[in-house]
Every structure is written in C-alpha cells, then in structure tokens.
Chain A
Amino acid sequence: MKRWLTHLVITGYLGILGYGVVSHAVNYKVSAHPAMYFIVWDMFCGWSSHASRLQLVGETVGQDGEPGKFYELGPGPWGEVKPYGAIGRRHYDAFCLFAPKMAMNCLKHTKHEPMRRIYVVEQCWPKKYNLPDRVYNRRHGEEKDQHIYHHVRYVLNGEGDVLKRQGYWLNYQNAICISNNPRLIADSRKGRLFYNVSPMKNRASRSAFHEPSKDAGEAPAESWAGGKSAN
C-alpha cells in the first residue's frame, strides 16, 4: 500500500512538472490559475529598453479657492520597503495593479488633510542612462543627457475610487508610432459595428485605433495613444 502511494506521489509530481513544461513550451493556459506560477519556469522572460518607476502623489482639497497641496504617498513616512536593493517596493509593481492600494495604505496610517485626488505616475527613461557616469562616457563618448518621461497611470478620488486609468507609457509611445500610419488608421475605422456587444471594449489593445474622444480638453494625440484606455 505504502509503495503504491509512493508510486502515486512520484508519477503525480513528475506529471505536474511535465504539464508545466509542455504548457509553457506550447503556451497553453500558462495563466489559467495561480498554481501555474509554481510549474512554469519563465525566469527572465521579458525585457524592456526603458526603466520604469512609479510615484504616488496625493493632492489635498484647497481652502477658499486656493489650489491644494501635493504630498508624497509612496514611500510612507515610516520608511520605505526596499525588497531587493536600492529601489522601493512600489517600483516592482510591474502591472501597476497594486500601486493605488499602496497609496491608500499610506493615507490610512497617517494624519493628513482630506485628499481631492490621488495620482499614480509612471516615470520612464532609456536604460542606457542607468550606467554609472564613468562607464557611460566610455561606452557612448558623451555626457549623459537624461530626460525623465512622466505618464499618469491612475487618477483616484480621496476615497480611492478610480476616476481615470491609462496604459503603460511604452504602450502610449508605441501607439504614437502606429498612429503615424494613415492607411492603417483608415483601415481600422472600416466595418464599424452597429451594436457594441464586446465585453472587452475598454481594453488597451483597442485603444490605439478607437475614435478620438470628443471630450473637451483632451488632445487628439492623447486619445489616439490610449489616453482613455483601461489596461
């Protein structure tokens, strides 16, 4: 009996590991369940030529028509969690799923004026500027001229309700590149549905090609580039 149980454990365990490898190899249901994280070995699967960081900013309600003040909501005033080195925990939120929660946690444990808006801002720059100055000069033969790009990912109200959500800065830049092609944009406008039954209508993948918003104050480039998209 014990031997059969052991057989079962061995075959079961190897079967599960084998399923993970095959699933990963043919890209079949690799994200179907959190358990897949334990059997899919996709270490170092992605790369980007740009570094990305997240900043959490709170804006207070201004008094008597005065503009509000801005406060840092990440890191919390009690100190920053630096899990793997020099940068704070919020910067590891690659999908920007939890940054609003981190901002709300900061508000929950501090004394502050009422907040009007909470912003989650993505900062990006080419990774070549991460090189130390000496190595950078040797590689590129020039001084660094780093420019940091900012991109608002979330706007929330004081209670943490999402008012606006945008895709990655890189998606925005990519959309700009695509929108430079008039033929492609014209093609995307053909064959419009009369009924909108798609549950995915707000997905970012659609955003680069949807009709520019007629909302006042929104620049066409922004809407073309996924400015209103939900990621």
Chain B
Amino acid sequence: MLDIRQRTGYLFLAVMVAQVILVSAQVQSKSGVRILSLVTFEAFSHLERAASGGISGTRGVWDRYVALRGLRSENDELKKELASLQVKLQEEHALAERTTKLQELLDLKTEAGLPTIAAEVIAGNPNPGMRTITIDRGSADGVQADMSVIGPAGVIGRVVGPPARHAARVQLLIDRNAAAGALTERARAGGMVVGMDADPPLRMELVSNLADVKVGDAVIASGVDGIYPKGFRIGRVERSERGNGLYRTITVRPSVDFSSLEEVLVVLVPPRPATRDEGSK
C-alpha cells in the first residue's frame, strides 16, 4: 500500500510526464492540440465578451453615478451644476473622439480598397509575456487564420490560430514571435521587421550593411510575406547602425500606438504564399 507522500509523488510525476508528452506532440506536428486550443478559446471568448461588457457597464456606472455622487458633497449649487456640465462635456468629448476614430477607420477602409471588417478589442493575452489581443469577429464573419489586421496608423498584426465563431486571436506586430516583410520607403531597402521585448519594440533584420537606411526613414510592409498588404505603414527608423556581420542593426518605432487599441480592421483577404523580396532594389 502506497503512503500519501508516495502517492503525491507518483501523481506529480504522472502529471508532468503527461504534459511533456503533450508538448512533444505539438513540437513534432505543430498541430497537435488545435482542437483543445480552439474549444477553450471558443468557450472562453463568451466569458471574455461578457467581462468586456461588464467593464464597459462599470465604467458607465462610474462615470454617470459614482462621479456625480462625489460631487453631491459640494454645497455650492453652482459648482454642482458646473461639475455636472463638465461630466457631460467629457462624455461628449469621449463620444466625439470615438466618432473620429471610427471615421478614421472608415476612411482607411475606403482608401485601402481592400475588403475589411471592423472589429472591437474584447480581451488581451492571459500570459503576460505574450502580446496578443482577442477581437469580437470570428469565422462567422469571414475571418481566417493569418489574415492581417490594420488600423488608421498602420499594421497592427495578424490573426493567429483557428478563429472561434465570433472571436479571433490577433498576434500584435510587437510580440516577440511576430515578424513581417518590410522595406524602407525612401531607399526601398528590404528586410524583416520582428517584435522584441525592448523599447522601441521593433527591430528590422536582414538589411544589408550597404543599404542606405537613415534615422527617420518610414518603414512599410513589403507584402512578401503574403500576409500584410504592401505599402501599409509599420513605423519609423529610430536607430540605424552598421552591424558586425553582413546586416545593419536597425530599431523601429511603430506608428501604431499599441497601448490604446480599441477598434481595428481585419483585411478579409486570405493569405497567399510568401514571394521573393520584390521591394528591394
């Protein structure tokens, strides 16, 4: 008969071995537990949507009730009235700002000439080390894996993994596992922009030491990866130095403010196979 310590030890060993097998299966096939991932994501997206709605509701209650209750303590009637007007003005400002953002998205939609669908950010990544977001559009809206996601300021990221019916996971361009084919707008020097855990969060790789890349040059998507539409803004070169090997050391400041993503556009064009670098000279 096993004592409790032995049993705990065996259980621990079994759980660890099971997970090692699970990890190994994925490393070999790259698609080992897609179903597990999809089912969890599908089920959880409803909770995320509800939580997002709850947060918006709480914000509304806070803005409209708690803040006003705080103002009641003011004895002066005029101050009270002024404060209530100020709150209303803030609301109007917020509404106007949101309208402007939506207008920008609409303009972009018209300019881009690509079939797109607007989506709202409903959640972030549960793992603090990864930079992905969840949007409220999924396979039911025509969203597929590897479709690019853009915003008025430029490239945001791409849809990763199989989307749920009404939700999809978007890997931001600044995630350490993200990459995009890119070129500098002025000199057309081609390379690859990758995300990293630093400031600025983008690095441009595979650009020859001979290429003419200067600080301030705009970096745009080259389209060679078959995911991101060619010509869309990625960022600006913040540092460009001659590297030790064949390639330059280039850091890029993204044009998108990733800290305040609320609405995005999903480009409804299925990804095509990557091509040879057509942007570089």
The answer to whether A and B come from one shared complex is no
Spell out B's residues near A (CB within 8 Å). none
Spell out A's residues near B (CB within 8 Å). none
